Structures are given as C-alpha cells and as structure tokens.
Amino acid sequence: MTEIRFDGRVVIVTGAGRGIGRAVAELLADRGAQVVVNDRGGSVDGVGGSQEPADEVVSAIVSAGGRAVASAADIGSEVGAQSVVDSALASFGRVDGLVNCAGIIRPDSIEDLQVQQFDDIHRVHVGGSVAMTRAVWPHMQRQGYGRIALAISAGFLGSPGALSYATAKGGIFSFGRSVARSGQDHDIKVNLFLPSAQTRMIGLKGVGDAAGRSSAPPRAAKAAPEMVAALPAYLVHDAVPVTGETFSVTGTNVARIYVAETRGLSVGPDGQLDLETVSAQWAAVMDGVGAATPVDSADHGAFRKKVADEVVEVSAIGSGGGPAA
C-alpha cells in the first residue's frame, strides 16, 4: 500500500493545541506537511488564553523532524483568522489545507439557555469556521486548489443538554455544504467530519449527559484522539474524491452521514393537498424506500415534481447518487 504523503503542502489546523486538533497536526507533519498550529489556549468553555499549548505542539513537531509554526490567534474574529493565514504565508509561502477543530462548549438546555452564552459559542464555532474559510478562500481560489475539513459533532443531530453547541454545529454543517458548491470550479473541496474521541470536552461536567435523556444507554468508551486523526487528515489530501459530504469517525469506524428526502406524498398536478389527504397518507410521507440525498436547496422537494410514475433523480454531491433507505 502506497503511503499517503503531504510533502510540499501547507495545512492550517485550528484547535491544534490539544486533543483531536493536535493529533491531526502531528499526523500531517509526520507525513510531510508544513503545519500552522493554531490554538487560543483557553479553557474548554472558552475562558482565558495562552500561547503555550500551540508552542508545545510546534516544539514536538520540530523535535520529530517536521516543520510547524504556532499561532494563538482568536479565529472567531476576522482579524484573528486572517492573522493565522498570514502566518502560513509568511512562514511557508502558501496555504493548501484547513482543518478547523477549534471550539468551546458550555452545557445548557432550553430552560436555562442564556443569549450571551449562545452568542459566545456561535462566535467560535460558526464564526470561526466562516472566518477561517473566508481567509483561506482567495488563496485557494487563485492557485486552483484547496482542501477544507470542518469539525462538527453528533450534537448537530440534536443534543437538548448542549443546545447552543448543537445549534452551532448544525450551522457549520449547512455552511460547509454551501461553500462546497462554490469551490467546485477551483478544485476546492470542503467536507465535514464528526469525530468521537476522549477529549477535554467529554470530561467537562454536564457534557457527558448532554443527551438529556434519563433512559440513555451507557456511553461507549471513547477512542484516543490519535485514533480518529486519519479521517480529517485524509479530507485535506490531494486524493480525497468527494466534496460537500459529512463523515463520522471513531477509533474503529468511518461512515458517511447524509440527509435523505423521501418520495413522499404527491397528489399530482390536478390534486389538492388538504389536511385530510395529509393525514390519510402520512405513511407515504414517512416511507424511506427510494429516498434521495439532495445536493443543496435547489434539490429540495425534487420528488414532488414527479408526474404519475416519473421520478426526478437526485444525486449526492461528489457521490454519484444516494442510497435507498
């Protein structure tokens, strides 16, 4: 098997001072990438800051024979994000990839949600993803090449005990799928990954029970961050074959996560969609047989355009078609 290498590539990794971000940064450097290690160095709930975590990772990479520079910039601001890209350009002359792992978390629910906390979490997660992508985009567009991997979380599927965090991850999901479409003509591929590993976030009080369900099954043991680093690293490699996709990764499994739309209920061009029809045909609305994976908002509702037995086919971006449910 040919070794996957990143020789000559420059990759920015945010949130790289600890946990998954650090594991990704060290793996990329070990495989030949020149890495910008960005980490604000604060607590898991976003308090404080320090240059030390980023410096420590850079020291480890350099000691192992790799090349890296440190950044403690706050990527939640436009100025901070641009300074990270400026570091890459000043040190290595280009930027080819971005792995965005930076984030904070504070448990909350609909009953105790604070608007300021909601805004703080979104500023780092959504704001940081947007600011970093915007900062690298013109350079990738100009060189006709780029790879971006944005971290989300299982929380985007719904996490009533970490509501602000879950909502932010959902925002990144939509953002990543949207910009993936914009990058297709410039060989800029944007994908999302949902890692599951033992990190500081898992250990924060209240986060482990963020599902908010007293009947939740016992949680499985989490993998070490190093065991999930291969997937996000691959997503910023030349050979990654897809864009606009989302993947989960644990220590032993990688899987695609996708949005599906059922064939649903269609009353035809001469029918009337009234309350009684919706109620009577609810099983058809829910039936997943033959479901499609819409590319973007332009594909939403494509199956409602069918006439009689004719069905409009919908293909998943970069995948060549969606699986039947």
* Residue 219 tokens, joined: 């949680």
Q: What is the pLDDT of residue 215?
A: 38
Distance of alpha carbon 300 from alpha carbon 37, whole angstroms: 39
Looking at residue 144, the DSSP 8-state letter turns out to be: T
- Predicted TM-score of the model (pTM): 0.86
Separation CA 9–CA 308 (nearest Å): 52
Are 245 and 293 in contact, with CB atoms under 8 Å apart? Answer: no
Please tell me whether residues 128 and 209 are part of one structural domain.
yes
Whether 240 and 271 map to the same domain: the answer is no
pLDDT tens by residue, 23-80: 999 999 999 999 999 999 877 777 777 899 999 999 999 999 999 999 999 999 999 9
The answer to whether residues 217 and 263 belong to one domain is no
In this model, does residue 5 exceed pLDDT 50?
yes
Six-digit token pair at 21? Answer: 């971000």
* Residues 143, 114 within the same domain: yes
Q: Based on the domain organization, do 241 and 212 belong to the same domain?
A: yes
Q: Is the pLDDT of residue 116 over 60?
A: yes
Give the pLDDT confidence of 144-177 residue by residue, as tens digits.
Answer: 999 999 999 988 999 898 999 999 999 999 999 9
- Name the residue with higher pLDDT: 196 or 86: 86
**Mean model confidence pLDDT for the chain:** 86
In a domain, 71, yes or no: yes
Residue 220 has pLDDT above 90, yes or no: no
For residue 61, the surrounding DSSP H or E stretch is: helix 52-63
Which domain CATH number covers 199?
A: 3.40.50.720
Q: Are residues 21 and 90 in the same domain?
A: yes
In terms of domains, do 227 and 143 share one?
yes
Name the domain boundary from 236, 257, 278. Answer: 257
Domain that holds residue 312: 258-325
pLDDT at residue 199, rounded to an integer:
58
Q: Of 257, 272, 295, which residue sits at a domain end?
A: 257
Residue 1 belongs to a domain: no
Which positions are annotated as active-site residues? 165
Last residue of a domain, one of 212, 239, 257: 257
Residue 2 covered by a domain: no
Q: Please indicate, yes or no, whether residues 252 and 285 belong to a single structural domain of this protein.
A: no
Let me know whether 198 and 67 are in one domain: yes
4 belongs to a structural domain: no
Answer yes or no: do 60 and 48 share one domain.
yes
Is the model more confident about 244 or about 219?
244
18 and 84 belong to one structural domain:
yes
Number of domains in the chain: 2
